[in-house]
Structure 1
């Protein structure tokens, strides 16, 4: 871990919307159509899960809706989210040290933005999360979080999603690591994208004072009750 730990205060975020409200929001955005899931099935899953879990995130499996399709649905100050131009392979990033439920819809519980780990590198953060019995978020899960709770993305308190990595043919992993932050409208982003939500990447061994490490306590799929 870093020689000088971050002094960032823990995130004080409001509770997530109820799962039924999250399902409605995804339906309004057309995510269920992108995933090939009937709206009634989405709502039924959320209604059932909501009776068992509070303050959980409703996520669609990345095999159903990839990051490139979710990112443009993000909004901040009326501006849509985007993926940086030098990440055309964003959908080739796969779960890393993470086991996903074998289901199109699942829950992510115990979300934390990881502000206290700002100025850590991914290489330093991953074992610390494992030691704390936490699991890093996938990029798609991070996007789902910001879709449902825009306050999770703040200037100088953005986050990496190191549960997603890009495998290489030789069995190693690409050194780029996905992150979600807010564009300054510089360079190839374009001035029109200033303050827009941005999906980008950082190097595996680099530290950034404004990026924490989003994580959760777990994931689960709850089967619908018998009809």
Structure 2
């Protein structure tokens, strides 16, 4: 059951938005976006009025995520700024990652930044093939995460890869059978891929309730 953002809950969400903004500033997102800090902050602040609409369940990994689209901050640069247990992120998908697009039925806002609500790493889909997890997610009235949203999740909740379950983002695909995935590899956070037909005991399929944009 979801909980509405009451006055006290909205105050908590305000503090969480401040935390996420501070994280993005510390990781140099304004410069990566080609913006001065004031303008970047202004873009994120357009999301604050949306907090009153944020609903989330008790099992949410995060009540919401600030998602910065890869058109604003390139995916590889964002991944390289992951930090989990003192190790920076890496990917072996640099040559192909920009070819991944939201799948049919996943409507992503075109604003530079937006909110993703009631975010889960998908523990209920552990050891379930991504091809089978997608209809489970949709049957629950939820939406699968995209690459941009997976990047946002590891950026804002790096412990998700060590204290929760690693996860796949079945909401982004290209013309192959690969599913972009986030896990710890060689001791560091990684954006890689796994086959759509393979189940993994340590990989869930991440999902969320909704996307909100100004």
TM-score w.r.t. the length of structure 2 is 0.81
> Following TM superposition, where does structure 1 have runs of at least 4 consecutive aligned residues deviating by more than 6 angstroms?
none
Q: Unaligned 5+ residue runs, structure 1?
A: 1-14, 167-172, 186-194, 223-227
Take 2:161 and 2:134, find their aligned partners in 1: how far apart are those partners? 21
Give the match for residue 175 of structure 1: 177
Return the index of the structure with the highest Cα Rg: 1
| Higher helix fraction (1 or 2) | 2
CA distance in 2, matches of 1:94, 1:134: 18
Q: How many residues align?
A: 191
2:133 is the counterpart of 1:125: yes
Q: Structure 1-normalised TM-score? A: 0.77
Shift of 1:206: 1.1
Say what the alpha-carbon RMSD is for the aligned residues.
2.1
Matches within 5 A, 1:31-46: 31-37=29-35, 38-46=39-47
The CA distance in 2 between the partners of 1:106 and 1:87, in whole Å, is 24
Q: Any conservation in 2 of the 1:137–1:162 contact (CA below 8 Å)? A: yes
Residues 61 and 43 from structure 1, CA distance in 2 versus in 1: closer, same or farther, beyond 3 angstroms? closer
Q: Map 1:1-227; keep pairs closer than 5 Å.
A: 18-37=16-35, 38-50=39-51, 52-53=53-54, 55-84=63-92, 88-97=95-104, 98-154=106-162, 157-166=165-174, 173-183=175-185, 185=186, 195-222=187-214
**Structure with the larger strand share:** 2
State how far apart, in whole Å, the 1-side matches of 2:160 and 2:137 are: 19
- Where do 5+ consecutive residues of structure 2 fail to align? 1-11, 56-62
